[in-house]
Amino acid sequence: MLSKAQKKKLIEKAVAILPNSYAPYSKYAVGAAVLTANGKIYQGVNIENAAYPSSICAERSAIFNAVSDGERQLVGLAVATRNAGSPCGACRQVMREFGGKDLPVLIVNEQGELVEETNLLELLPRSFGPEDLLS
């Protein structure tokens, strides 16, 4: 469970990174911030490409930043968009890999207003994770 201070910081970081989004095609900026078990916060933005499949979402960008720095366990994620859009399916699966079923997810608008507080179990029911490969 995230503390009030952790939630506030995650939301601030997700909103603060929004201007760095590269979304010339969709015009839909997304900022994300993830908190790791080590207490570090990593940010990411969506980065579009003229070859659409080569784009990356903000949530995965933030997670991959954390993983690239050696982090393997997420304890919270915030995502900010103009209309508080929910993470896509690909992002949900990557969140599951590094955050587990109970990962808290904060969905906010570009003003930083918390629109929905949920968790990955609600966003990705009956998910497939690393432990499923062991059985």
Active-site residue list: 59
CA distance 69 to 99: 16
Phi, psi of 129 (to 5 degrees): -130, 180
Q: Is 68 exposed, middle or buried (0-12, 13-18, 19+ CB in 10 A)?
A: exposed
